[in-house]
Amino acid sequence: MTHVDAEFPLAALRKRGEFVGSFRRLRLSDRAAILGLGALILIAIFAPLIAPESATAPSGLPLDSPSASAWLGTDEVGRDILSRLIFGLRLSLVGAVVVITSGVVIGGLIGLVAGAVGGWVDMLLMRFTDLFLALPAPVLAIAVVAAIGPSFGHTLLAVAIVWWPWYARIVRGEITAIKAKPHVEAAKLSGVSRPRLWSRHLAPGTFPPVLVVASLDVGYVVLILAGLSFLGLGAPAPSPELGAMAAQGLRFLLSKWWVPVFPGVAVALLAFLSNLAGDGLRDMIGDR
């Protein structure tokens, strides 16, 4: 093994040690939130193995209260609420990942081009971005879903349409700051091609702030998706979507409280843990 080869595992160990050290220096609440969100993600991934019953087929008596056979009770059809929450958690997380990923890709590309090229291209792209930012995002998303029809895919499309401008602004600001740094000027003087300059010297500098914002956005996207489903603009029945479950069970709030309350608690818990975990990730990146 050469000297250079030997440095790679050592560098990896140092980075791992820095990561563990940064994690240990976080507040207890942030560490608990990161671990809790990780546990929810694992539950969502392995939902078919963890859920005790089917999410769409009845498994007991309708409106049965929480018991040993149905820990969170059953809904008006007799479906196990715990199983529906587990699969609903998967839907919410998948939806959040799809929306945020599309926002990062579309907004990131627009921000990269605007910041790197500058001039009239920057002005044109940013005015286009401002047009979307000026419109109320929830209202625009509702209008899009109402126009093309309610479904889970249409809901994701509607939210993705209004989510990318924030990332365009963030990336454009970071690129503008990175352009003035010495290593970028040195790369330009050495004759580096524009694609290589953008991909190797400009874009990587935007990853930490974008990652932090994306982690914080998980909770907001989950709440928006749940809100649209609550209004009847999300996944149709019998799909186990958390917002739709809360809306459909609202009429039982005073008599069979567990039907609407547990889905609402699941949405709140997921949003709360996502925001705390995002705060912790921001502190970890800043610490390093």
* Collapsed DSSP state (helix, strand, coil) of residue 13: helix
pLDDT of residue 21 exceeding 70, the answer is: no
Higher pLDDT, 5 or 252: 252
Q: What is the pLDDT of residue 135?
A: 78
pLDDT of residue 109 exceeding 80, the answer is: yes
Residue 46: CA count within 13 A, CB half-sphere: 8
Burial of 142 (0-12, 13-18, 19+ CB in 10 A): middle
pLDDT of residue 230 exceeding 60, the answer is: yes
Q: For the chain, give the percent of residues with pLDDT over 90.
A: 25
Q: For the chain, give the percent of residues with pLDDT over 70.
A: 91
* Range of weakest confidence among 97-111, 167-181, 266-280: 266-280
> Pick from 104, 90, 106, 88: which is nearest to 215 by CA?
104
Q: What residue ranges define each of the domains in the chain, with the CATH number in brackets? A: 26-48+77-287 (1.10.3720.10)
Using 50, 70 and 90 to split pLDDT, how confident is the model at 15? low
pLDDT of residue 129 exceeding 50, the answer is: yes
Q: Where are the beta strands (DSSP E) in 43-111?
A: none
Give the distance from CA 53 to its chain's centroid. 27
Using 50, 70 and 90 to split pLDDT, how confident is the model at 1? very low
Q: What is the pLDDT of residue 268?
A: 87
Average pLDDT of span 114-126: 91
pLDDT of residue 7 exceeding 90, the answer is: no
Give the distance from CA 283 to its chain's centroid. 18
pLDDT of residue 13 exceeding 70, the answer is: no
Q: What is the pLDDT of residue 12?
A: 42
Mean pLDDT for the chain?
A: 83
> Pick from 265, 271, 232, 262: which is nearest to 248 by CA?
232
The predicted model scores a pTM of: 0.81
Each residue's pLDDT tens digit, 131-183? 888 877 778 888 888 888 888 888 888 888 888 998 999 999 999 888 888 87
β-strand partners of 80: 74
Q: How far apart are CA 192 and CA 175, in angstroms?
A: 17
